[in-house]
Structure formats: C-alpha cells, structure tokens
Amino acid sequence: MINKKKCVAMLLAGGQGSRLGVLTKHRAKPAVTYGGKYRIIDFPLSNCIHSGIDTVGVLTQYEPLELNSYIGTGAPWDLDSMNGGAFVLPPFVKGERGEWYSGTANAIYQNIYFIEQYDPEYLLVLSGDHIYKMDYSLMIAAHEKTGADATIAVIQVPMEEASRFGIMNTDEDMRIYEFEEKPKKPKNDMASMGVYVFSWRKLRSYLDADAKDEKSSNDFGKNIIPKMLEKNEKMYAYPFKGYWKDVGTIFSLWEANMELLQEQPELDLYDEPWRIFSRNPNMPPHFVEKNAKVKNSLVSEGCHIYGTVENSVLSAGVVVERGALVRDSIIMQQTRVGEGSKIIMSIVDEEVNIGNDCTVGGGGEITVVGGGAVIKDEVVIEAGESVNAKRVVKNTAGGGRK
Amino acid sequence: MIRDAFGLIYAGEQNINLRELVYLRTVGALPVGGRYRSIDFVLSNMVNTGIHNVGVIAQRSYHSLMDHLGSGKEWDLSRKSDGLFILPPYSSSENMGSYRGIVDAIKGVMGYIRRSKQQYCIFSGSYTIYNRTYDDMLKYHIDTGADITMLYNEEEADSFKGERFKDVRIHQNEEGRVIDLEINSPLTDSKKAGMDTYVIRKELLEYLVEDCVSRGKYNFVSDLLMNNLNRIRIMGFKHEGYVGRLHSVASYYKLNMDFLDVDVQQDLFYANNRIYTKIKDEVPAKYAKTSNVKNSLIANGCIIEGEVEDSILFRSVYVGKGAKIKNCVIMQDSEIYNNSTLEYVILDKSVNIRQGRRLVGDEVFPVVIRKGAIV
C-alpha cells in the first residue's frame, strides 16, 4: 500500500467543554484561545508534526464551524502534505442511517475506514483539551519496546488532586493492572493524560466488539480500557515529565494564561525546534502609545494600547483606549476596551465592545464576557458574573446592571 | 478585482545610498515597519487587486529575497496555474547575467512576459511603500486611452533632504497627459512624485523594450519613458494617502518612524487591505515587570525588560534590564543586554549589543550596525 503509515493520530475534538461556560457556547473547547495567539488544538497538532506524525484525523461534533475553518487544509501546522495531512472528520450518514458520535471509542469506530486507508501499525489517540509539548515518537518507541497492546501516557499530579483524574495503578515495570476513573481514594498519583498508543489490529477487534455491545457507552475510559485490562492485554503506562495543563474550567484557563507571565514559565514557547504553530491573523506589530503603560503582560500583533495593561494576556487586534485599565485579565481577539473602563481579573472573549467608563470584574472570582457582546457605557459587571455572548447589555440610571 | 493583468516587480534595485543595509540584500528585501520587507507592500497590493500571476525580477544578492518569498504561499500565490515566479538572471547568448538597466532586466524575462496570458501588466519597483489596489488606476488607463499610466503622489521636492534615489518628477497638461519628466532634479518645481508603478499593455511593453534594447538604451525612465513622451500617450494617476520611499539611510529611518503615526498605521494597515508577509509563528511580545515602553511599535516574539521609547522593534528582539532604547530601529533577532543605551541607531538583524554599551547617532545620520555584528 502506497499510503501505508506506521502511525495515524486521531484527535478527539468533539467535546463541548461545558465547564468553560459562555466561552464554549459557540465553539468547541479545542478552539478556545490561549496565550494571546494559540488555540488549545495547536498544541496536539504541533506535537504531531514535530513527532513525525503527518496524518491526523480531527474528530469534531460540537459547534464545529469555528474549528473546521481554523484547521482548514492544515497548512499552518505543515499538515497539508501529499500523502496525509489534517482531516476534519465530522459524523456522517452511512448507508441508510446517520448517527452522532456516541462516545470517544465510537468516534474512532465510525472512522475505521479512514484509518484503514493507511493500514497503520499504531493508532495514537489524542484529546484536544490540554496544553503541553510532548514528543509522541518517544512514546511510540516505548510502546514498541515493551511490545504492548496499549500504552497510556501518565503524569504525576498532586495527591490531593488525584481524585479528579483517571488514575493508573501499575506494577514496578509500569504495566497497568488497574484503571480507576476519578477514584475517591486514589492509590497513587499517576493520572492519565488522555494520550493513548494502541496497536491498531488489537484495538480494532475491541472496537468491533464494543460496537456490538448495546450496554456500552462506547468510551475509552469507561469501556475499552477496562475491557482490555479484564482480558489481560499488555498495557503499559508511559510516564511523561513536563508541563501539562487541563484547561477545562474558567479558573484553570485563566491560571494557565497567568503562568505564561512568570519570569521563566514552565512551558517554553520560545523553543525553536518545537515551535507551536497556529493560524496567523497577519496583522502589523502592536502599537504602544506615549501615555500607555504595559507591565508583566503578553501582547499580540495588531493591538493598540493607549491605557494601562498589567499582568494580562492580549490577543491580536485588541484596543485598550485612553485611561482604561486591564489587570490580571485575558482579552481575546479584536476586543475593544473603551476609555476609562476597568477590566479586573476577567476573561473577555473575541470581538467584544466594551464602552467607556465600564467596570468588569473586581477580583475574588473570575468574570467572563462572551464573544460579540456589546457593553454600553458605564455598565458595571460584578466579579464572578458571566455575561452571555451576543447579548447587549444596557446601562441603568443608577449604574450597575440588574 | 482585476483578472486581466499580471504583475511584474523589479526587485533588483541597487541603491548604494542605503549603505550597509543593502550590502547583503536587495532593496526589496529590506525589513521595514517591524515585520515586513519593502516588497511585501507592492506584492500585497497586487494580490489584493486580484492579480494571481506575479513575476519578481531578482538581480544581485537575491538570496534573502528568495528566502522571504518562498513559494508565495503567504501571499496566496502558490497556485497550479500562474502564481509567483521569481526570475533571477541567467547567462544567455544575449545576456551575461548582469543587467545594464531595468529595460535590459525586462528584456531578460521576456519569456515570462510572453507566456503570461493576461493583457495588462502592472510594473513596479520594490522601494515604494503604500497600500492601494490598482482597479481604479487600470480603469483610468482604459478610459483615457493611455499607453502607459504612471502612479504618483504629491510630495514637496525638499521634503526629503540629502540623497535621492529614482526621484521622478512629473509635469502634466490639463487632461493629465505627462508632458515632461525629471529625474533626481534639485531644481524641480513639480510636486508630483512618481511612485515607480506603471500600467501598460503587454504587447506595448514588449515592443518598447525591444525598441530600446535594439538602440542600446537600457534605462526605464530616461530611455523608455522620456524618449517616448511625444510618441506614446503617458498619463499620470494620483494616489492619495501615505507613500514611503527608500532613498537613503536617512529616509529609511524616517519611513520607519512614520509607522509610529497612528494615521499612517491606519492608512497602511487597517483602512484598506491587509499587507501579507512571511509568517514566523512567534510568541506574543512579553513585557516584564521592569519594562517601560512608550510610543513604539513592537512585533511578536520580543522580550522587553528595559526601556523603549519612540522605536520600532522587529520580531524576537530582546531588551535587557536597565537598557535604554530611544529613536531606534531594531531588526529581527537582535539582542540588547542590560544597561546599554542606544539612540538614533539602526540595528540590522541578529546584532548583539553587550552589557553597558552606548551608541548614539543623529536623526539625519543614524548609526547603522551591520547584520550579525557583536558590539
């Protein structure tokens, strides 16, 4: 077979990420902005191309439009190659019936023919929910060395947080004997990263069996992995060391952005051979006016800063007008902060227009303003509030919003 | 959107007034405005007009130009039919690989011109910087029955002091026909300055070039245009809006400083169409707690720990703690370490300024530090 690939990657990008609230109202979680220019999905896609994996199926389902147009031909990640590339794989009608992806395993099952085109030895299953840099080729090498049927990447997490993750219990040579999803009393601190390498033939037989099982919820964590353990298949944990962050909640997304402002961030984005690629907005360098003040922040291209920006992350094309203050906040693409407005400890989504003399947030809890919102002059949005996208917020006579 | 025109850019200008800045690159490859090369502007103008067949005539030291343009993908010019053609010189029975003038250079790429299927040619140099599309200019060209239409803007002759490069002054009659041209004239009373951009029908360009070459004349303005003023109908079409020109080091410096004017930024980047350039996937610029930046243009990938005022920082510049940068143009990948002071300095790419150094130039004579130097 001309198109034969040693390894094909399948990226699960269909999740809603409901805990991100208004930020994922009109986009899937992997399309959420991070670090002033990236989308979460840039990380697994860049990791793939740097790991020598040039065939990536991107499984979309929830609000796919933004993600589909973002990925396009895959050219920004160098994934527009001749025999491979990035393929967006939404659910489709087969024969007489069409069906949604009922679970992570079902999403792979429904695309068996896509995978079989490349007759791969290994299948790399990724999720589009995490920020990390990882060389998957080393994990595949480990998988080959142990002769495993499945290898699951794990990372050490603080013991007190272990009950939030899927925990792998292994013997000394890292062979997994038990998998516990969000255990109340975790036996160790090795959390699954949602990165799996399977020997494709083996996985395929489990997917076929799982599809026939009507009681199954067609999920890797709930069904496939436990079933493989039950049958005593060779499953190994692959310990990963480095920065790995689940940005599944408003707080963790905010925190992950703030971590980039440290003097030496743990996640090195300046690493030349492991550049994180993204679709480029093609805007001029940003402009800082003579009365502006910018401290401890990340500022992207196309921004115009006339006011004060402190401890914040600004995406492309953001305008901060005179007398405005942005502090401890994340401002996404093309948003305007009007004169004299104060944005404190907030996440403001794309294309929001904040009028003059508004107050958004105040610390304590994170405030979120959804994409495309228009905030009228002098409106106050309290700390911890979440303002819906596409909603026009009116100002009331006494100030403050009811 | 013009479908019936192809673009031809002459990127072989040798402007020695630009000194160290063009030792290793052509004028078209000169970095401007924090992330662009000067050729990006005309090239983007052509693409934004809907032109999808562009030939770039390279001449000397064109490696950085080729590296920059690549397959033309970033200008959407990597196409199955047409697209971007980089046309370096080669030795033939008629040509020794070195052009005697722009007309000779066009003659050298006659094969490309003949193969181009479009009827009109937009011919341009690469040393003017402006943002416009050519639709209205082509319409004017057709409506007025012109043989050649040249683009100009109004600019006082004494607005740039010192050395000039290809300063073409235009005199028109009432209907707009060009009746006289001057080049680099210190005595001119014309405010109309040519922008080195022409519309011409393909067959006429072929004829005029062959005609000039057969007489041993190789200069585009003085031979092809001036000598034919009575024979062909040359019209002038006025451009409103900002125009930057790369006459000399001083005008290179002034051009970059113009980018700090919000109106100029508006005109060049936001009002019309996008200017495309090579993408580098840099991280957004990082400001440390100790940074202090005023009135400056800062590109992605910069890390700023010191003070920057009235300056342009290209991509991935590092400014260390206590360093002071004022009125400077700092090109890509340059590093200025702690407690150094730079004023009126142009740092070419990848210059390394060690701790505690002090370099001071003047507005009309900025200090230029060559590419890769360690100070």
B chain contacts of residue A322, beta-carbon cutoff 8 Å: none
Q: Mind telling me how many Å the CA of A129 is from chain B's nearest CA?
A: 20
Minimal C-alpha gap between A152 and chain B (Å): 30
Q: Which residue of B has its CA nearest to A37?
A: B284
Select the residue of B33, B284, B295 nearest A289 (Cβ to Cβ).
B295
- Interfacial residues of B (vs A; Cβ cutoff 8 Å): 33-36, 73, 260, 262, 265, 268-269, 274-277, 279, 281, 283-289, 291, 293-301, 312-314
Rounded-to-integer distance, Cα A129 and Cα A132, Å? 10
CA distance A278 to chain B (A): 7
- Which string of b and e fits A285-323 if b means at least 16 CB within 10 Å? bbbbbeebbbbbbbbbbbbbbbbbbbbbbbbbbbbbbeb
Q: What is the mean pLDDT of residues A59-70?
A: 86
Query: Is there a contact between B291 and A298 if contact means CB atoms under 8 Å apart?
Result: no
Q: Provide the pLDDT confidence category of residue B208 given band limits of 50, 70 and 90.
A: very high
Is B185 buried (19+), middle (13-18) or exposed (0-12) by CB count in 10 A? Answer: middle
In Å, how far from its chain's centre is CA A305? 28
Q: Give the pLDDT band of residue B323 (cuts 50, 70, 90).
A: very high
Whether A64 shows a pLDDT value over 60: the answer reads yes
Q: How far is B72 from chain A (nearest CA, A)?
A: 13
Q: Where are the beta strands (DSSP E) in B99-218?
A: 120-124, 128-129, 148-154, 168-172, 178-183, 192-201
The verdict on a CB contact (< 8 Å) between A269 and B283 is yes
Residues of A in contact with B277 (CB under 8 A): 282
pLDDT average, residue stretch B87-102: 70
Q: From residue A29, how far is each of A20, A85, A318 by CA, in Å?
A: 8, 22, 22
Closest Cβ–Cβ partner in A277, A280, A290 for B295: A290
Q: Give yes or no for residue A18 having a pLDDT over 90.
A: no
Query: Do the chains contact at B35 and A296, CB–CB below 8 Å?
Result: no
Between A284, A292, A296, which is nearest B269 by CB?
A284
Contact flag B299-A287 (C-beta cutoff 8 Å): no
Burial of B375 (0-12, 13-18, 19+ CB in 10 A): middle
Predicted confidence band at A1 (pLDDT cuts at 50, 70, 90)?
A: low
Choose the weakest-confidence range: A79-83, A86-90, A342-346.
A79-83
Please report which helix (H) or strand (E) contains residue B244, including its range: strand B244-245
Percent of chain A predicted with pLDDT > 70: 95
Does position B85 have pLDDT exceeding 60, yes or no? yes
Categorize the per-residue pLDDT at B161 as very low, low, confident or very high, splitting at 50, 70 and 90: low
Please compute the mean of the pLDDT values over residues B289-305 and round it to a whole number: 97
Whole-number pLDDT of residue B159: 60
Residue B188: closest CA among B209, B208, B165, B169: B169
A270-274, B73-77, B85-89: least confident range: B85-89
Q: Which two tokens stand for residue B18?
A: 């630009």
Mean pLDDT score, B30-58: 94
Interface predicted TM-score (ipTM):
0.91
Tens-digit pLDDT profile for residues A139-194: 999 999 999 999 999 999 999 889 888 999 999 999 999 999 889 999 999 999 99
Q: Give A194-233 pLDDT, tens digit per residue.
A: 999 999 999 999 999 999 999 999 999 899 999 999 999 9
Q: Does the beta-carbon distance from A285 to B35 stay under 8 Å?
A: yes
User: What's phi and psi for A174, nearest 5 deg?
Assistant: 70, 10
Interface mutation vs chain B, best among A280, A330, A331, A334, most B CBs within 10 Å: A280
Indicate the range of A248-252, B248-252, B353-357 predicted with least confidence: B248-252
Most B CBs within 10 A among A78, A287, A310, A336, hence the mutation to make, goes to A287
Task: Over range B83-107, report the average pLDDT.
Answer: 78
Q: Mean pLDDT check: name the lowest of A19-28, A246-255, A368-377.
A: A19-28
> What's the confidence (pLDDT) of residue B95?
57
pLDDT digits (tens, 9 = 90+) for A324-343: 999 999 999 999 999 999 99
| Record: contact A285-B283, CB cut-off 8 A | no
How much is the mean pLDDT over chain B?
A: 91
Q: Judging by DSSP bridges, how do beta strands B53-57 and B5-10 pair with one another?
A: parallel
d(C-alpha B298, C-alpha B313), whole Å: 5
Q: Which of A275, A284, A290 sits opposite B33 (nearest CB)?
A: A284
- CA distances A301 to A80, A284, A298, B140, B141, Å, are 25, 6, 10, 36, 38
pLDDT of residue A402: 30
Note the pLDDT of residue B94: 57
Mean pLDDT within B180-184: 90
Full-model pTM: 0.92
Q: Report d(CA A142, CA A122) in Å as an integer.
A: 12
- Return the pLDDT at B97: 57
A212 exposure class (CB count in 10 Å sphere: 0-12, 13-18, 19+): exposed
Interface A–B counts its CB contacts (< 8 A) at: 101
Q: How far is CA B41 from CA A218, A365, B8, B35, B330, in A?
A: 54, 46, 13, 12, 20
Task: Give the closest residue to A347 by CA, choosing from A333, A363, A367.
Answer: A367
pLDDT at residue A390, as a whole number: 54
Residues in B closer than 8 angstroms to A319, CB to CB, are: none
- Average pLDDT score over chain A: 91
B297 CB neighbours in chain A (<8 A) are 284-287
pLDDT grade, residue B92 (50/70/90)? low
Per-residue confidence (pLDDT) for residue B96, from 0 to 100: 58
Q: How many residues does chain B have?
A: 375
Q: What is the pLDDT of residues A124-134, one digit of tens each?
A: 999 989 999 99
The residue of chain B nearest to residue A267, with distances taken between CA atoms, is B283
